[in-house]
Amino acid sequence: MDFSNPEQLAVFIDVHSELPREGPGNQESTAKALSMVGSLPDEVGILDIACGPGMQTLDLAALLPNSKITAVDLNEGFVTEANQRVQAAALTDRVTVEIGNMRSLGFEDASIDLIWCEGAAYIMGVKNALTLWKKLLKPNGKIALTDAAWLKENRPPKLTEFWSDYPDMTTIDNRRDLIKQCGYKLLGDFVLPESAWWDDYYGYVFLIMSIESED
């Protein structure tokens, strides 16, 4: 999908409106990724990029009770929904949600302990994201993100064709190499379980599409 195309962006936002998450993930996977991050400051400053409606933002706040989280998303509707969730969870003292563009984040260099991005780095390309966001990290700062990758060498032709529109699609080994090339030390990785795709994402997308098709 070309997010610079207003029509395609409008379709994306329409399909994703009122979803629990804007991409694959669940609390268990967030917790597992967080366990691989290693040591963090007692009062950790987190930047959640492309937070969507904020489900993983709240998970991070629960898993790291001493954290201060700034969550950003380019879509005003998602930001409004995330703020509503933060208020309902009584977390406004620790979590701030605001409009922000992942390509031009207005944060000082070396000011963030942990950058989090679930299912959205592909929008600007993983290499661009890792390169641009690195300057925001404090010494020994960490980045955690999710992205699609090939798990097998032998793939059905139709599947290969389907993913041909995503120029960043590559193997896990190539993604690991890219991380090192961008000047990071890989602390760990894992494949998201099927439940992380279906429970709060695909299942809801298909439900919405089914409801809309009845009109």
Cα distance between residue 36 and residue 28, in whole Å: 13
What's the pLDDT tens digit per position in 159-170?
999 888 888 899
Q: 38: domain CATH number?
A: 3.40.50.150
Q: Does 188 fall in a domain?
A: yes
Q: Does 1 fall in a domain?
A: no
What's the pLDDT tens digit per position in 103-113?
999 999 999 99
CA quadruple 149, 152, 157, 163: dihedral, nearest 10: 0
What's the pLDDT tens digit per position in 129-159?
999 999 999 999 999 999 989 999 899 999 9
Instruction: Note whether 48 and 74 are within 8 A (CB).
Output: no
Residues 6+ apart with CB under 8 A from 93: none
Cα distance between residue 26 and residue 103, in whole Å: 25
Cα distance between residue 96 and residue 84, in whole Å: 11
What's the pLDDT tens digit per position in 18-40?
666 767 789 999 999 999 999 99
Q: Does 68 fall in a domain?
A: yes
- pLDDT score recorded for residue 3: 56
Q: What range does the domain containing 101 cover? A: 6-213
Q: Does 59 fall in a domain?
A: yes
Q: Does 114 fall in a domain?
A: yes
Q: How many structural domains are present in the chain?
A: 1
Q: Does 75 fall in a domain?
A: yes
